[in-house]
Amino acid sequence: MILTVTLNTALDITYRVPSLRPHAEHRVSEVVERPGGKGVNVARVLAALGYAVTVTGFAGGPTGQVLRERLADTPGITDALVPVAGPTRRTIAVVDQRVGDTTQLNEPGPHIDPAEWAAFLRAYDTLLADASAVALCGSLPPGVPVGAYAGLIRVARTAGVPVLLDTGGEPLRRGIAARPDIVKPNAAELAELTGSHEPARATRDARRRGAQAVVASLGAEGLLAATPEGHWRAAPPARLRGNPTGAGDAAVAGLLSGLVDGLAWPARLTRATALSAAAVLAPTAGEFDPADYTRLLMAATVTDEESAA
């Protein structure tokens, strides 16, 4: 079983409009609701690939109830979310169909009190016993300690479970020092962590801060990886137009499944790049078309950065 942790789950709502214009009234052509939050998106991709996945984190209020009902409809995913008093947040994505861009609005999430946090820690410790790997994903809701991910990484390491961390800001800074197996920042998170806007240098610097491997998500330019086996750049065959929301989460699913399957790093990066690109072509986060994935898996390229240098 692969475990994904989403402390700040969300009910993702996607609106599609013909054209998004400031200060104007819009007629929505389509509305889609999905259980969301980064780790939930990762779980949905893993389940679609055929892996058994357990989702944990927090859920509360009416939106949390809808999230859990929708999650129950997803084959391959086990719900181990911890109930809380506060309502689960919503995220609103507005897709401009004319240009293909997406505008994202994210609520902060419920306040987690000490008793709720303690309940989660007990659940997490129990779930690790059956986990082959764990992904710690996304922002922290109010009330959760800023060093929460660092603590969860240490617990997983003690249990002998490999950990992937995907977050930003101070939680990333503290978490990376706890020596996770993989860290997957995006370009902005990487620059904030290291102070460098040169991706190759920043990726190497981030790895020196404690992570065994750092895989930076560079949007349309693909992935840049600094690992114990070497340094690689992976890219899709062409720049893709679509909805980038959830593309990074699909990449996490590729990296995590590659770790569980024991793939060498170039193969992990090819899988992650193809899933990320396929997610861009999908209408909502946490989904991909298997045909797109297969086609992109054959076409993705991985370059040895050390040889190129």
Tokens of 84: 């809380």
Report which residue type is found at 58: F
Report which residue type is found at 170: E
Say which DSSP state 227 is in: E
Specify which residues 230 forms β-bridges with.
227
Residue (of 60, 17, 3, 64) closest to 36 by Cα position? 64
CA distance 57 to 39: 9
CA distance 13 to 227: 36
H-helix or E-strand spanning residue 299 = helix 290-299
- Strands 89-96 and 163-166 come out as unpaired
Q: How many CB atoms lie within 10 A of CB 115?
A: 10
CA distance 293 to 165: 24
Specify which residues 216 forms β-bridges with.
224
Q: Which residues, including other chains, have CB under 8 Å from residue 115's CB and lie 6 or more apart?
A: none
For CA atoms 15, 18, 24, 26, the dihedral sign is negative
Q: Crossing angle for the helix pair 148-158 and 169-176, nearest 10 degrees?
A: 30
Say which DSSP state 296 is in: H
Q: Crossing angle for the helix pair 114-128 and 148-158, nearest 10 degrees?
A: 30
Q: Are 277 and 296 in contact (CB under 8 A)?
A: yes
Enumerate the active-site residues.
Answer: 249
CA distance 218 to 126: 35
